[in-house]
Amino acid sequence: MLHTLRRIRATLAGPLGTAVLAVLALLVIVFVIVPNVISQGLGLFVQILAYGVADGAIYALIALGYTLVYGIIELINFAHGDVFTLGAFVSLPLLSAFGLVEGKSGGAHLVLGLLAVFLITMLVIGLVNVAIERVAYRPLRNAPRLAPLITAVGMSFILEGIMYLWRGAFNVHYPDLLPGNRIPITSGASIGAKDVIVVVIAALLVGLFSLFLSRSRLGKAMRATAQDRDAALLMGIDINQTIALAFFLGAVLAAAGGIIFGLYFNSIRFDLGFESGLIAFTAAVFGGIGNVPGAALGGLVIGLVQAFSNAYVASQWSDVIIFAILILVLVFRPTGLLGMRVPEK
Amino acid sequence: MSEAVTPRRGPRGWVSRIDWRDRNTTTFAVLLGLAIVFPGLVQFATGGNGTYLVSTAADAGVYVLLALGLNVVVGFAGLLDLGYAAFFAIGAYTYAMLASNRLAVTPLHHAVHIPFWLLLLVAVFVAALFGALLGAPTLRLRGDYLAIVTLGFGEIVPRVFRNLATWTAGVNGISALDVPTLPAWITGPWAGTPLAIVRDFQFIDPTAFYVLMVALLVVIVVLINNLQRSRLGRAWMAIREDEVAAAAMGINTVTTKLLAFAIGASFSGFAGCFYGAKLSLVSPENFSFVVSVTILLMVVLGGMGNIPGVMVGALAIYVIDFYVLTNLPSWVSGAAGAVGLGFLNQPQGAWPGLGDETQRLIYLVFGLILVCTMLLRPQGLLPSRVRQQELARATTQESLADVESA
């Protein structure tokens, strides 16, 4: 009996599991997406698709930070979602410092100003995250495994507390700087220029980041550390520096995600990172935690699932659907969509 | 023949076997003593107005129960569970559905009223069943993936309860749950009435809930203590330390982990049932991810795997989070008023008033407490002796190896 169960499990986790997932995805497409496309029109479908991709691009930027940190020190960094929110909050005063005002700024001033805001915020948040790592995680590197998890929760509370003190408990308006033009597709359906801009910025960042990881010396060191920390140490890689770099890069991407979120949704709140962080983390696991292209893909898929279930099912069921998909993926394909099979250490 | 080898068992033998030099024994004795004198002490200190505090203590007992249950999963078996509140919700909703008029307004059209005592067991089984259902396909996953599956489950359950409004009344929650009733009870001068036997004694007074909670906790603690020393408990610890080695020793790791998961879940269901009965209200907001994380904090901060440590951790976090930090704003503004700094309480310009400002600081303070405690005592307040020694030995060996390799 138990033997049979094990065999069923073993088959499920293998190629058959992937096949089951594919069939399930196909069923959803045939029975949920297609009827809605027929009844509500292709234009609306494309509109939702654009929204989902833009939303997914933001999740992808956050998910990369989770995956980077997990890949190197196997820590579920609960504070990462709040680092993302902090990015949005820190960029707010910078926007006004560069004279970027809603409805008045445009052209070269807007582009260069935003570029400067992006760069400064990313640098600041990156350094903040390095400091957090130094204070809260590094002293606990040889402690019981759950200790850094708890300090991560603590850091999450601290970051939220700081933003709460700074801006209060309510929604804060974020200037709507991006052009509000919409590109019509069919009557009643259109793609926002914002959607396109958000996706382009995110794709650019992810592209630069993967280039850094695959080509640069430091990127190579990071990949080596993720594979085998001790061996990397023996090869003369500075482990502390590499881990700090992972936190820096993760925060840089999250900060960019925070600014993009603000520009896209025009409203931020101190506890925003809690929910977004949880979903972005799901995205990272979905793509195969520790796997960089996987996190980007996972973010996109989660964004799409959320957009389509908001539009075609009901928004209050979206999170249930996302987490149910997460459980299904882990049951049928434990390594995530793009993950490799890793032996238990 | 057996008479010669059987050790003398009896009340005397049992007492003489207690090792009073053991720190755990002392902690248990102190906790039990405090639990017994607490209601009287509080009523005396507040001049008879301490019922609210006794009620808070009974609520704290719920969290102690939850922490003890999560300790089975995380502390004994070493499986990280980030969705423990889901089973808490399942237990509470089991009680709410089966002991209120709620089912009369659902498509079922018939209210069900099952006694509390029976439902305690039912909640245990329902929660264990869900634990097993979730665990069976996922327990072969590597440690952290399991944590993520439980996280997902913990997010799903309260949302399902919120969204299935036809059955669960959605965000409003289910209220006016049945009061637990004892068929007979003795009353007397201690309750302000002449000595008599009461029929159908109802648990309305918070002190009655408190006494019930303490009694349940004593039973549970004895149970978990024995569980830890049983064959199963030792198997859990073997798996926690080295799963491959445990499997090689003939432990069926899948079944053993599944049992840890289901037994842990059953404690949560038990606590949920009590919680629902005491509050007489369940709502999906009471079982969010924050609750799961809080219980995990209690276990880790108290000292994973060590029963008295976990209890102390649970009480400490409960007092800080639900009592001190919740009441801090009013205390601070009260204190400011009392020493003649009352003007600080008035909002003025950007200053929101002292009470409000303290309210804003709470997140920060709680976070700082977590980080500082963990940095100062990474192994928890009262760590398990065995684990502490293992850890100490492991680090010395590692540093030796580092020295040799350098």
Strand partners, B197: B186
- Whether the CB-CB separation of B374 and A118 falls below 8 Å is answered with no
**The pLDDT value given to residue A139:** 92
Is the pLDDT higher at A342 or at B313? Answer: B313
User: CA quadruple B190, B193, B199, B200: dihedral positive or negative?
Assistant: negative
Contacts of A143 in chain B (CB under 8 A): 378-379
Residue among A9, A157, A317 whose CB faces B366 most closely: A157
CB A158 to CB B255 under 8 A?
no
**The pLDDT value given to residue B2:** 45
- What residue spans define the domains of chain A? 45-332
Angle at A228 between CA A225 and CA A234, to 5 degrees: 80
* ipTM value: 0.84
Is the pLDDT higher at A284 or at B387? Answer: A284
pLDDT mean across residues, chain A = 87
Query: CB contact, 8 Å: A235 with chain B?
Result: no
Please determine, for residue B24, whether its predicted confidence score (pLDDT) is greater than 50.
Answer: yes
CB B364 to CB A6 under 8 A?
no
CA distances, B258 to each of A345, B33, B154, B232 (Å): 21, 36, 17, 11
Q: Which of B363, B377, B382, B386 to mutate to test the interface with A (most CBs of A within 10 A)?
A: B363
CB A161 to CB B363 under 8 A?
yes
pLDDT tier, A313 (very low <50, low <70, confident <90, very high otherwise):
confident
Total-model pTM: 0.87
Mean pLDDT of B71-88: 92
Query: CB contact, 8 Å: B362 with chain A?
Result: yes
Query: CB contact, 8 Å: A320 with chain B?
Result: yes
Ranges A170-179, B175-184, B207-216: which has the least confidence: B175-184
pLDDT tier, B7 (very low <50, low <70, confident <90, very high otherwise):
low
Which span out of A181-190, A271-280, B389-398 was modeled with the highest average pLDDT? A271-280
Q: Which chain A residues in 173-232 lie under 8 Å from chain B, judged by CB atoms?
A: none
- What residue spans define the domains of chain B? 21-405
A218-264 pLDDT, tens digit per residue, is: 989 988 888 888 899 999 899 999 999 999 999 999 999 999 999 99
Closest by alpha carbon to B94, among B56, B121, B75, B73? B121
Is the pLDDT higher at A13 or at B64? Answer: B64
A264-278 pLDDT, tens digit per residue, is: 999 999 989 888 998
User: Which CATH code fits B21-405?
Assistant: 1.10.3470
Burial class (CB in 10 A: 0-12, 13-18, 19+), B351: exposed
What does the DSSP 8-state code read for residue A172?
E
Instruction: Give the integer Cα–Cα distance in Å for A92 and A94.
Output: 5
Closest by alpha carbon to A80, among A92, A66, A67? A66
DSSP 3-state helix, strand, coil percentages of chain A (rounded to 5)?
75, 5, 20
CA distances, A89 to each of A85, A125, B404 (Å): 6, 10, 49
User: Which CATH code fits A45-332?
Assistant: 1.10.3470
Please determine, for residue B406, whether its predicted confidence score (pLDDT) is greater than 60.
Answer: no
Write phi, then psi, for B47 (nearest 5 degrees).
65, 40
Query: CB contact, 8 Å: B377 with chain A?
Result: no
**The pLDDT value given to residue A304:** 93
Closest by alpha carbon to B315, among B297, B289, B290? B297
**The pLDDT value given to residue B6:** 52
Instruction: Give the integer Cα–Cα distance in Å for B385 and B304.
Output: 11
**The pLDDT value given to residue B161:** 94
Please determine, for residue A44, whether its predicted confidence score (pLDDT) is greater than 80.
Answer: yes
Please determine, for residue A299, whether its predicted confidence score (pLDDT) is greater than 90.
Answer: yes
Residue among B152, B155, B374 whose CB faces A154 most closely: B374
Q: Which of A77, A135, A153 to mutate to test the interface with B (most CBs of B within 10 A)?
A: A153
Please determine, for residue A286, whether its predicted confidence score (pLDDT) is greater than 50.
Answer: yes
At what angle are helices B253-279 and B116-138 packed, to 10 degrees? 140
A74-101 pLDDT, tens digit per residue, is: 888 999 999 999 999 999 999 999 888 8
Percent of chain A exceeding pLDDT 90 equals 48
Instruction: Give the integer Cα–Cα distance in Å for A72 and A88.
Output: 26
Q: List b or e across A73-101, with b for residues whose CB sees 16 or more CB atoms inside 10 angstroms.
A: bbbbbbbbbbbbbbbbbbbbebbeebebe
Mean pLDDT of B71-82: 91
